[in-house]
Structure 1
Amino acid sequence: MGGDANYLQIGQVAERTGLSLKTIRHYDEVGLVQPSARSTGGFRLYTATDVDRLLVIRRMKPLGFTLEEMKQLLETLGTLDDGAASGPQRDTAAADLRAFRNKARESAERLRKQLAYAHEFTELLSARVSPQESGG
């Protein structure tokens, strides 16, 4: 069990990523991010690399990426990090990465607009509520 020191249990992963246990288990079940090991008791054990992959997914989720797109991006990043990947594989991965970046930028801009509208709305409500609160 001494080798387990470099592994994190699912609760620790949830704490570090801000993802629920249910979400982390779901990502394992669909093959998105599977734990690198299992304890002798069958508990999921994650490495720092696994946590990094989950953080990538957490960042993609609010931008509207599908599970399939998340899986594809993780594979793309793996190809770019793989020193043994061929030139054509790296070129394809780089093109895919640019497409993901463009989609992320478009989604982020949409979210910024929605957030601006939400801020305007809360300001409107605050302006209407404040006079009533101070006059009561």
Structure 2
Amino acid sequence: MSGELMQIGEVAERTCLSLRTIRYYEEVGLVVPSGRSRGGFRLYTEANVRRLWLIRRLKPLELSLDQIRDLLTTLDRVESGAVAAEDAATLRSTLTSFQSIARARCESLRDQLVGAEEFAADMADRISELSSAEQNETAEP
């Protein structure tokens, strides 16, 4: 275990996740602290922080915990560099499936964003109309 070890509070700050969320991710097996301090505090490495950032980035995709676990397992296998030729097709298929999910969700989020922007513009128009009406009333003697 090389590199700087961090306690959960620092990891929470760096990942913008709550302590409770990080502990929950540990409980469900998505992340495993790299060690414990003499006092029993969880200790994390930079690799743990990167994994938590990845999990955080997956949130908008609305994946289930099982799907996230499957993806992380697949990524771990790919990153290990020890992928047998017969496993490569399965791993590629799994990653392609998650890529399709991500692309579909991105399209859905773009549609939602367009709707939100249209609503915000409509509210701006209404506020402007009210402001004009108020100015006209105060301008009349």
Shared fold, TM over 0.5: yes
Q: Give distance in 2, aligned partners of 1:41 and 1:133.
A: 61
After superposition, residues 1-136 of structure 1 pair within 5 angstroms as 6-136=4-134
Query: Residue 8 of structure 1: CA displacement?
Result: 1.3
Residues paired across the two proteins, number: 134
Give the partner amino acid of 2:97. Answer: A
Larger Rg: 2
Q: Give distance in 2, aligned partners of 1:40 and 1:93.
A: 39
Question: What RMSD, in angstroms, separates the aligned Cα atoms of the two structures?
Answer: 1.7
Query: Residue 83 of structure 1: CA displacement?
Result: 2.2
Runs of 4+ in 1 over 6 A off after TM superposition: none
Q: Give distance in 2, aligned partners of 1:7 and 1:44.
A: 9
Q: Tell me, what secondary structure is at the counterpart of 1:61?
A: helix
**Percent sequence identity over matched residues?**
47
Query: Residue 4 of structure 1: CA displacement?
Result: 8.9
Give the partner amino acid of 1:123. Answer: A
Gaps of 5+ in 1: none
